[in-house]
Amino acid sequence: MAKNKSTQKVSAYNRWLNGIEAVGNKLPHPVALFGIFCLFIIVVSAICAMAGVSATGKLISNGELAETTVTAVSLLTKDGLAYIFSHAVSNFTSYAPLGMVLVAMLGVGVAEQSGMINALLKQTVKATPKSLITPVVVFLGVMSNIASDAGYVVLIPLGAMVFRAYGRHPMAGLAAAFAGVSGGFSANLLVGTTDPLLAGITQTAVTIIDPNYHVQVMGNYWFMFVSTFLITIVGTIVTDFIVEPRLESFSGELLGEEDESLTTITDAERKGLRRAGITALVFVVIVVACCIPANSFFRNEKGALLGRPASPLIEGIVVLIALLFFLPAVSFGKTVGTFKDHREICNALGKSMATMGSFLALAFVSSQFIQYFNYTKLGTIIALNGANFLDSIDIGLIPLMVIFVLFSAFMNLFMGSASAKWNILAPVFVPMFMLLGYSPELSQLAYRIGDSCTNVITPLMTYFAVIVVFAQRYDKKAGIGTITATMLPYSIAFLIFWTILLIIWLAISQATGGFPPIGIDTGLFYPAV
């Protein structure tokens, strides 16, 4: 009887997974989806304008908070149609994430092309004692998301191989790496491409309420810095005490040959890493030295490096990040022979941009969608009505953010792209929470937590099929259900403990009047309200 009951549970679970996959697979491609959204906004704006839909509330006007009534504007009028065609290019070129992401990828992409990041991952894993292998694999997974695909392509299969080499179950190593790379996607000790991407989308949404507010690229830095250690600890405990004990003992049978290039690091690569490290250190020292003088060009008009208005150091952080990757990568590439001359370096820059084609296509349609929201005033109306409703029920900051985390986690089950979802949610929730007095960076932070936690259990995550292929090297029966069942404990644990960290952070910050801040120059509250 107990066996049948267990079978029923597994069957129900698989049906749930199949349902999620079926619903998600019916969604159009994100580019097509935003094209549909644009058409939807055009039609809805005409209907709302005809119906005289409006909202009243406090908005920023001439730098001051004032009671304002906003009425819907139609795009199906002479002026509206003229706006669609005459502003299509400017909507795209003024899209805040566009420049920041492309500049950051110039550096990060060259680091990938040179082989530096792959060599660094291999060197770190090989130098790790057996007792620390689990936390190191999870930690490197979290850190590897700064280089986009490197974690998925290199670290996940490497994690499985390293666990196998130490006599542990390779599926546990694969799961630990996958948990770090994807479940801890937003956490990091450094600022990567995700930060400017999401901050840029948030910046675009902010203009609905306050065109003068500047969203900081490092607006979530302190919280995500601490989150890196949380994810590492939780991921280690789940791997060692929940996931690995449930796996059947590994017989040692391997389907195919191991790729030795994933575990072998050459003398040239070691030498290249040393030179890259020296280059990075010299660059950091120069930047720090430039920050020291009281009249430094990195300081703001008040002579400060931090605080508002944002200093050139903070506003130029994306360029500094690009250089921090680019210069050591060139040094590494020159040493190992990846880059023989400046032409190959320039080609690597071109290849980095070539990988951004899908992002550019999505950026074009999503920028139109957000600007249509602004022009039609629908985003403002939704934000005002939503803020008025939330203000009337007065559930408080912490419950509100917890609900938004859970909502973001649920949305992630059906749409894998973090930027695509934020392009949809930001124009609604960022202005709404700003009107309640909460900073845009806080809204972005709550979204990032929810979006990361369920990455490892949704079949719609871009690399999910690749993970299944990696797993089948050690378990020929492995499929979507196998991976999701293995990763579910990570998803639940990350969601619980990451949310608890957020609750504690918010409670302490509220009690102390803003300490600790959630990022560089950012706290919980939107100062204008």
Q: How far apart are CA 178 and CA 157, in angstroms?
A: 9
In a 13 Å sphere around the CA of 211, the CA atoms on its Cβ side amount to 5
pLDDT for residue 279 is more than 60: yes
Query: Which amino acid is residue 148, in one-letter code?
Result: S
Q: Is residue 1 part of a domain?
A: no
Query: Which amino acid is residue 231, in one-letter code?
Result: I
Q: Which helix (H) or strand (E) holds 359?
A: helix 357-376
pLDDT of 5 reads: 42
Q: Is residue 521 part of a domain?
A: no
* Dihedral angle over CA of 266, 271, 276, 278, nearest 10: 150
The verdict on whether omega for the bond into residue 312 sits within 30 degrees of 0, i.e. cis, is no
74 phi and psi, to 5 degrees?
-85, 140
Q: Is residue 8 part of a domain?
A: no
Domain total of the chain? 1
Which has the minimum average pLDDT: 146-160, 428-442, 460-474?
A: 146-160
pLDDT for residue 37 is more than 70: yes
Q: What is the secondary structure of 229-287 as a DSSP string?
A: HHHHHHHHHHIIIIIHHHSPPP----SS---GGGT---HHHHHHHHHHHHHHHHHHHHH
pLDDT of 147 reads: 62
Q: Is residue 525 part of a domain?
A: no
Q: Token pair 């600007």 is at which residue? A: 371
* Dihedral angle over CA of 199, 200, 202, 205, nearest 10: 170
pLDDT of 6 reads: 43
Q: How far apart are CA 30 and CA 24, in angstroms?
A: 11
pLDDT of 24 reads: 54
Closest CA to 495 of 448, 447, 445, 453: 453
pLDDT of 397 reads: 93
Q: Is residue 64 part of a domain?
A: yes
Q: Is residue 447 part of a domain?
A: yes
In a 13 Å sphere around the CA of 238, the CA atoms on its Cβ side amount to 27
Q: How far apart are CA 119 and CA 140, in angstroms?
A: 13
Q: pLDDT per residue over 330-340, tens digit each?
A: 999 999 999 99
pLDDT of 166 reads: 80
Which has the minimum average pLDDT: 10-14, 166-170, 438-442?
A: 10-14
Percent of the chain topping pLDDT 70: 86
Token readout for 415 is 């749409």
Backbone angle region of 424, left / alpha / beta, with phi > 0 → left and psi within -120 to 50 → alpha: alpha
Section 44-48 average pLDDT = 94
Q: How far apart are CA 490 and CA 175, in angstroms?
A: 9
The mean pLDDT of the chain is: 84
Q: How far apart are CA 438 and CA 32, in angstroms?
A: 32
- Out of 89-93, 101-105, 312-316, 360-364, the most confident range is 89-93
The band of 457, judged by pLDDT with boundaries at 50, 70 and 90, is confident
Q: pLDDT per residue over 482-492, tens digit each?
A: 888 889 899 99
Q: How far apart are CA 281 and CA 290, in angstroms?
A: 14
Identify any residues that bridge with 525 across adjacent strands, giving them in sequence order. Answer: 438
Identify any residues that bridge with 69 across adjacent strands, giving them in sequence order. Answer: 56
The band of 365, judged by pLDDT with boundaries at 50, 70 and 90, is confident
Q: pLDDT per residue over 198-220, tens digit each?
A: 998 899 889 888 888 889 888 99
pLDDT of 529 reads: 46
Residues 293/287, Cβ–Cβ less than 8 Å: no
Q: Which domain holds residue 77?
A: 16-512
Percent of the chain topping pLDDT 90: 37
Q: Name 525's Cβ contacts closer than 8 Å, sequence gap at least 6.
A: 437, 438, 439, 514
Higher pLDDT, 508 or 294: 508
Higher pLDDT, 337 or 418: 337
Alpha-carbon torsion (53, 56, 60, 64), positive or negative? positive
pLDDT of 211 reads: 84
Q: How far apart are CA 228 and CA 494, in angstroms?
A: 11
Higher pLDDT, 417 or 504: 504
Section 457-476 average pLDDT = 77
Q: Is residue 122 part of a domain?
A: yes
Higher pLDDT, 260 or 282: 282
Task: Report, in this order, helix, strand and coil percent for the chain, each rounded to 5.
Answer: 70, 5, 25
Q: How far apart are CA 65 and CA 50, in angstroms?
A: 29
Backbone angle region of 202, left / alpha / beta, with phi > 0 → left and psi within -120 to 50 → alpha: alpha
Q: pLDDT per residue over 7-22, tens digit each?
A: 444 456 556 655 655 6
pLDDT for residue 237 is more than 70: yes
pLDDT of 256 reads: 46
Q: Report the chain's C-alpha Rg in angstroms.
A: 24
Which has the minimum average pLDDT: 28-32, 223-227, 254-258?
A: 254-258
pLDDT of 220 reads: 94
Section 367-377 average pLDDT = 86
Section 342-368 average pLDDT = 85
Section 31-52 average pLDDT = 90
Identify any residues that bridge with 519 across adjacent strands, giving them in sequence order. Answer: 522
pLDDT of 65 reads: 62
pLDDT of 259 reads: 52
Closest CA to 527 of 457, 458, 438, 446: 438
CB atoms within 10 A of CB 408: 23
Q: How far apart are CA 105 and CA 318, in angstroms?
A: 10
The band of 293, judged by pLDDT with boundaries at 50, 70 and 90, is very high
Higher pLDDT, 5 or 320: 320
Q: Is residue 186 part of a domain?
A: yes
The band of 63, judged by pLDDT with boundaries at 50, 70 and 90, is low
